[in-house]
């Protein structure tokens, strides 16, 4: 028998597990694979406890968006527009222009995951920014990277009794679906009305989608 390690242990081959190397386009072996490997090959992963510890120490999202550190003095906060489990949205002024900002605290992992996902969704949709999703002005970090934020153009509440705006909202949803983006939290609060943009939008309502919560990250699957 060949030696599988310094102590001579050779983990048995389990055809149901296969290689623990991530497949092309993936970033991690599945938790189920690791759990089975723990049983079959204790020298690869010492115990379930160590797996849990590793998961706890792992960054919220290893493939994160880039957030640029800025001073709190560069942003003037105004009224709060919305609160939730996945962040806070406020009206603000940034570089002298009225904007909206969504912020999360990095100590809350689910919030960090959500804003990373949302930032990457916007990066994935440059062609429809300012039309079907808000135009992103900056992705920032504040207070020594303890707060992450996305500054975007500020919109207005959608008038749901206006047929044109209702149709524009539906068009936004269809538009992001063409890019294989799943929104994950489709509700009235996650639409904003923007001024018409582009020749094909003159004289028409433009509604953008925000507040993405889908479990997917780019590249998106079917």
Known binding residues are 102
What DSSP designation does 37 have?
Answer: H
Strand order in the sheet with 87-94: 68-69, 136-142, 147-153, 97-105, 87-94, 75-84
- Residues contributing to the annotated binding site for ATP: 102
d(CA 207, CA 163): 12
The DSSP-derived string for 49-105 is HHHHHHHHHS-S-SSPPP-EE--GGGEEEEEEEEEETTEEEEEEEETTEEEEEEEEE
**Structure tokens of 199?**
């020749």
**Structure tokens of 205?**
């309502």
**Structure tokens of 5?**
């390690």
């Amino acid at each position: 028998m060949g030696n599988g390690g310094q102590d001579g242990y050779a983990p048995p081959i389990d055809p149901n597990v296969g290689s623990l190397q991530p497949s092309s386009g993936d970033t991690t072996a599945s938790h189920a694979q690791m759990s089975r490997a723990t049983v079959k090959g204790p020298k690869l992963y010492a115990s379930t406890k160590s797996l849990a510890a590793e998961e706890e120490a792992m960054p919220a999202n290893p493939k994160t968006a880039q957030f640029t550190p800025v001073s709190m003095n560069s942003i003037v906060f105004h009224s709060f527009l919305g609160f939730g489990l996945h962040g806070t949205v406020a009206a603000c002024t940034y570089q002298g222009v009225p904007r909206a900002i969504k912020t999360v605290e990095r100590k809350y992992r689910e919030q960090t995951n959500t804003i990373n996902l949302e930032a990457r969704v916007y990066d994935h949709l440059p062609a429809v920014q300012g039309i079907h999703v808000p135009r992103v002005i900056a992705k920032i970090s504040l207070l020594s990277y303890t707060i992450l934020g996305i500054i975007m153009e500020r919109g207005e509440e959608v008038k749901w009794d206006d047929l044109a705006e209702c149709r524009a909202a539906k068009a936004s949803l269809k538009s992001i679906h063409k890019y294989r983006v799943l929104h994950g939290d489709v509700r009235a609060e996650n639409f904003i009305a923007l001024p018409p943009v582009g020749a094909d939008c003159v004289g028409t309502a433009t509604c953008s989608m925000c507040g993405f919560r889908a479990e997917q990250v780019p590249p998106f699957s079917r």
